[in-house]
Copies of this chain bind each other. A is one copy, B any other.
Amino acid sequence: MAGYNIGIVGLGTIGRGVVKILARQQSFFTDTLGLPVTLKRVADIDESRFESVPVGDAARSTTADPILKDPDIHIVVELIGGTTAAREIVLGALRVGKHVVTANKALIAEHGPEIFAAAEQNGVSVYFEAAVGGGMPAIKTIREAMIGNDITSVKTIINGTCNYVLTHMETRGLPFDAALRQAQEAGFAEADPALDIGGGDTGHKVAIMASLLSGGYVPYGDIPIEGITAVSAEDIAFARDLGYRVKLLGIIKATDSAHTLDVRVHPAMLHLDHILASVSHEYNAVLLEGDAVGQILLYGKGAGELPTASAIISDVIDVARNIAGSTPVRIPMGFYSAGGIMKTRPVAEVVSRYYLRFTVVDRPKVLAPIAATLGDHGISIASVLQKEGSLKDRVPVIILTHAAREAGLRAAITAIENTDFVRDKTQVIRIEE
């Protein structure tokens, strides 16, 4: 029975989880599955981790070179993150004929075509389940379980930090900054949370899913991304009054053109009955819609030591099974690099319902001109909520619209903001069905 030797580059949180699961399940993999998977080498720039992580007999190095140079290593597990050193290591491993398993969403999203082309040229594969939704099998479900479907839409809550912050803003009535601090104290937000709260992390994951389901490459840089920093506790409370909840959503929708996708990341209001509205705290979910299967929801923990390591292990075993056969590349990724660059629909062309919060002077008869201006731009009003303001001389006017084209909506808002009764920038949050 051939063995499958693994080299792990990066012994941080996820690397430690992978080491633990490999040790725990070794006899199951070897005896029951017939796949003797061995941790042969580990690399980390921080040598203290060779002691703090139970790497056993694995050979240790402070660079990835010994792993790439060892002809007995079959699978390189890249867990250092980032797109500079990680890119070199992944491309280096592929070029010497090693399979790669990675959790690196930025790397796949930003350098996918180059990486998949290198894998294809060298007859090896790159697996990346852990890059999207941690332990949830989002990639496996898209690539394998839904293979008989055209996937027509994806709606996803895929950043645990944002979801934790938004949940705590709602349930505890906290302002954004306080909720973020609490998430950091609870270990659900990084010290530098910019990539999470700015929506970039969600964007990376959405770029990967959009590319997979379209059969082309959706560049990360082409995706309109808004984070959650502009969402106020006030908006969350108003949403709740109206029967809605605010979530940071990644959205992918097919359009009439096979070459264009509607892809975006932004805060969105979901009706409380929406299945995604009940995804709270650090949990993630991916709601996939296929032309055959209808809706499939995956829900689980999208981050953390063992949940993410669980996805890495699933990939390692898949690759070992591929090697055991004569199909080192079971699932071809050529279409990702060869399918061409997909276009993304400009935000101005998006058609959506909207939540609008105008901040106006506290005097009668301001609603009429707002409604008139919206009407002039073809935007019809579904409901209005006018409350007493917390600030002197300023009151919020909340309007939910029916479906409208974003370009028209933005023109209407500009016109309304040019009047003398508007006191602040208007808050706009899209409503997703």
CB of A290 within 8 Å of the partner chain: yes
CB of A314 within 8 Å of the partner chain: yes
Q: Which residues of the partner chain B approach A34 to less than 8 Å between Cβ atoms?
A: 332
Evaluate contact between A296 and B298: CB separation under 8 angstroms. Answer: yes
Within 302-346 of A, Cβ neighbours of B (below 8 Å) are at: 304, 306-307, 309-311, 313-314, 317-318, 321-322, 324-327, 330-332, 335
Q: A293-B300, A299-B275, A330-B325 are in contact. Are A314 and B145 (CB under 8 A)?
A: yes
Q: Which of A74-82, A136-144, A239-247, A391-399 contacts B (4 or more CB under 8 A)?
A: A136-144
Q: A137-B141, A295-B300, A296-B135 are in contact. Are A321 and B330 (CB under 8 A)?
A: yes
Q: Which residues of the partner chain B approach A326 to less than 8 Å between Cβ atoms?
A: 325-327
Q: Which residues of the partner chain B approach A295 to less than 8 Å between Cβ atoms?
A: 299-301
From residue A316, how far is it (CB to closest CB) to chain B in Å?
8
With the chains together, A147 CA to B295 CA distance in Å?
A: 25
Q: Which residues of the partner chain B approach A298 to less than 8 Å between Cβ atoms?
A: 296-299
Evaluate contact between B310 and A148: CB separation under 8 angstroms. Answer: yes
With the chains together, A325 CA to B306 CA distance in Å?
A: 32
With the chains together, A322 CA to B324 CA distance in Å?
A: 11
Per-residue interface assignment for chain A, residues 282 to 295, with 1 indicating a CB less than 8 Å from any chain B CB and 0 otherwise: 00000000111111
CB of A411 within 8 Å of the partner chain: no
With the chains together, A317 CA to B331 CA distance in Å?
A: 11
Q: Which of A146, A148, A296, A318 has the most CB of B within 10 A?
A: A148
From residue A276, how far is it (CB to closest CB) to chain B in Å?
11
Q: Which residues of the partner chain B approach A17 to less than 8 Å between Cβ atoms?
A: 292
Within 114-165 of A, Cβ neighbours of B (below 8 Å) are at: 129, 134-137, 140-141, 144-149
Q: Which residues of the partner chain B approach A136 to less than 8 Å between Cβ atoms?
A: 296
With the chains together, A294 CA to B302 CA distance in Å?
A: 10
CB of A383 within 8 Å of the partner chain: no
Considering only CB atoms, which chain B residue lies closest to A312 in the complex?
Answer: B148
CB of A48 within 8 Å of the partner chain: no
CB of A52 within 8 Å of the partner chain: no
Q: Which residues of the partner chain B approach A278 to less than 8 Å between Cβ atoms?
A: 275, 278
Q: A137-B145, A141-B137, A144-B318 are in contact. Are A309 and B325 (CB under 8 A)?
A: no
With the chains together, A214 CA to B307 CA distance in Å?
A: 21
CB of A32 within 8 Å of the partner chain: yes
With the chains together, A144 CA to B145 CA distance in Å?
A: 11
From residue A388, how far is it (CB to closest CB) to chain B in Å?
32
From residue A392, how far is it (CB to closest CB) to chain B in Å?
40
Evaluate contact between B292 and A135: CB separation under 8 angstroms. Answer: yes
With the chains together, A327 CA to B328 CA distance in Å?
A: 11
CB of A215 within 8 Å of the partner chain: yes
Considering only CB atoms, which chain B residue lies closest to A317 in the complex?
Answer: B147
Per-residue interface assignment for chain A, residues 199 to 232, with 1 indicating a CB less than 8 Å from any chain B CB and 0 otherwise: 0000000000000000100000000000000000
Within 152-201 of A, Cβ neighbours of B (below 8 Å) are at: none
A–B Cβ pairs within 8 angstroms, 21 of them: A21-B148, A32-B215, A32-B332, A135-B294, A136-B296, A137-B137, A137-B145, A137-B296, A144-B314, A144-B317, A147-B314, A148-B310, A148-B317, A149-B310, A278-B278, A292-B313, A293-B301, A296-B300, A297-B297, A325-B325, A326-B327
The 10 closest A-B pairs by CB, nearest first: A148-B313, A325-B327, A325-B325, A137-B145, A135-B293, A297-B299, A293-B310, A296-B300, A292-B306, A292-B310
Beyond the given pairs A292-B310, A294-B301, A321-B331, 9 more chain A to chain B contacts, judged by CB atoms under 8 angstroms and listed by A's residue number, are A33-B332, A136-B296, A137-B140, A148-B313, A148-B314, A290-B310, A293-B306, A293-B307, A298-B299
